[in-house]
């Protein structure tokens, strides 16, 4: 099992956004306390990977996760989905015991 994965759909979306913002195609996933279920996912662009980051690469796009957050998302897959409700990055997290309706919060 890989520590973390980025789907081709998510990689393509990151590449598109990064090109428009003239930034490197590096998406940072971190976990913060809070949200309706205890923890929440936070996405942002990074200029580079940090020393303790785990890095996954798909189609030239990198997903980076710090060592503390990795414990809460190990084995997860970051996807990009478009639906009637809108388009968003989604985390399929096998560590999460439960989630919430908004899809951005979870508990372990």
| pTM assigned to the model | 0.86
Most confident stretch, 5-9, 38-42, 69-73, 104-108: 5-9
pLDDT in tens, 77-89: 999 998 888 888 9
Whether the CB-CB separation of 40 and 105 falls below 8 Å is answered with yes
- Domains, the chain, in order of start with CATH, read 4-107 (2.60.300.12)
pLDDT in tens, 23-69: 999 999 999 887 666 788 899 999 999 999 999 999 999 999 999 99
d(CA 89, CA 86): 10
Whether the CB-CB separation of 54 and 75 falls below 8 Å is answered with no
- Which tokens hold the place of 59? 């189609």
Longest Cα–Cα distance in the chain = 39
Residue-level pLDDT at 97: 75
Closest CA to 29 of 18, 21, 41, 20: 41
């Amino acid at each position: 099992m890989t520590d973390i994965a980025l789907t081709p759909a998510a990689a393509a979306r990151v590449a598109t956004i990064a090109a428009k913002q003239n930034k490197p195609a590096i998406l940072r996933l971190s976990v913060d306390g809070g949200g309706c279920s205890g923890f929440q996912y936070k996405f942002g662009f990074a200029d580079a990977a940090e020393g303790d980051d785990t890095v996954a690469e798909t189609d030239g796009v990198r997903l980076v996760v710090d060592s503390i957050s990795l414990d809460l998302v190990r084995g997860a897959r970051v996807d990009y989905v478009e639906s009637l409700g809108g388009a968003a990055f989604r985390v399929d997290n096998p560590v999460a015991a439960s989630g919430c309706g908004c899809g951005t919060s979870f508990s372990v």
